[in-house]
Amino acid sequence: MTTARRWLLGICTWWTLWGLAFSQPQMEIFTEGGRLGIRVEDISAEEAARYGLSSPAGARVLEVEEGSGAEKAGIQEGDLIVEFDGEKIRSATQLNRVVRETPAERSVGITLRRGKEQKNVTATLGAARGFRAFQSEVPRLPRFDFGFEGEGPFLREPGRLGIQVQDLNEQLAEHFGAKEGVLVVLVNKNSPADKAGLKAGDVITDLDGTPVRDPSELRSGLRKKDRDAKVSLRIVRDKKTMTLEVQLSERPARSPGRKVRI
């Protein structure tokens, strides 16, 4: 496929996702890998208090599919999932990631809050058969990595991290413990970012010492790097600052057969 055709395909896909994101504002756990059979969303600070929490965390269940592993485990609409297989859940995005990274047919422990009461259940994941994922509140569309590089009418993409990011609004900044930066919502498996240890939920604040305040600044900084350059990312993870060294590549490595991207 030529660069021009790739560019056109990327623009068409972007507009399609833009329309879908605003027409259905929640996130459904429905991906390649494991599947719970629920639809979830993030909660606000006010809503967190109803669950006995001091700050927003977890993913609230909006819908439970009949016959799914979630229903068989006793998960109900309105439950707040706060832990999955031993990992504390901070958001719907994070829950979506850990579910799809867990193999189908595996039984996992889930901690949830029903009102202010905490419960522990065990769910057996089903096998995913597609995907449909939307952010809970979409002030503007996140940046997407369409998997092409080169030069087009408005795009030049020399360096590749293999991630998807979104703006960090005031509520997210407080939740993740960062004053500014961009929130990582997806790390492609075996990509340069994945090999360096970057994770969904991390906040990128600096690229080689230069502050990153929005996705366009991160993209602009990467455009100036050689395809095989090594860059330093300063991030905030669990409200702690750390630095990762990332070896860029021309194109992020992809797992054989992996086709679904959330």
| Structural domain includes residue 255 | no
- Do 80 and 58 form a contact (C-beta atoms < 8 A)? yes
- Do 207 and 244 form a contact (C-beta atoms < 8 A)? no
pTM of the model: 0.43
Same domain, 117 and 164: no
Same domain, 103 and 166: no
The H-or-E segment that residue 233 falls in is strand 230-237
Same domain, 243 and 208: yes
| Structural domain includes residue 97 | yes
Domain boundary pick from 127, 162, 188: 127
Residue pLDDT tens, the chain, 262 long: 554 555 555 555 555 554 544 444 444 444 457 889 999 999 988 899 999 999 999 999 999 998 999 999 999 999 999 999 999 999 988 998 888 888 889 999 999 999 999 999 999 998 875 444 444 444 444 444 433 333 333 333 334 688 888 888 887 888 888 889 999 888 888 888 989 999 988 999 999 999 998 888 888 888 888 877 899 999 999 889 999 999 987 544 443 332 222 2
Tokens linked to 153: 């009418």
Same domain, 42 and 13: no
| Number of separate domains in the chain | 2
| Structural domain includes residue 241 | yes
pLDDT in tens, 40-51: 999 988 899 999
| Structural domain includes residue 62 | yes
Same domain, 159 and 203: yes
Cα separation of 142 and 156, whole Å? Answer: 19
Say which CATH number the domain at 235 has: 2.30.42.10
| Structural domain includes residue 256 | no
DSSP per residue, 117-165:
EEEEEEEE-EE--------SS-SSPPB---S--SB-SS-B---B--EEE
Cα separation of 202 and 176, whole Å? Answer: 8
Cα separation of 134 and 262, whole Å? Answer: 9
Q: What residue numbers bound the domain in which 118 lies?
A: 27-127
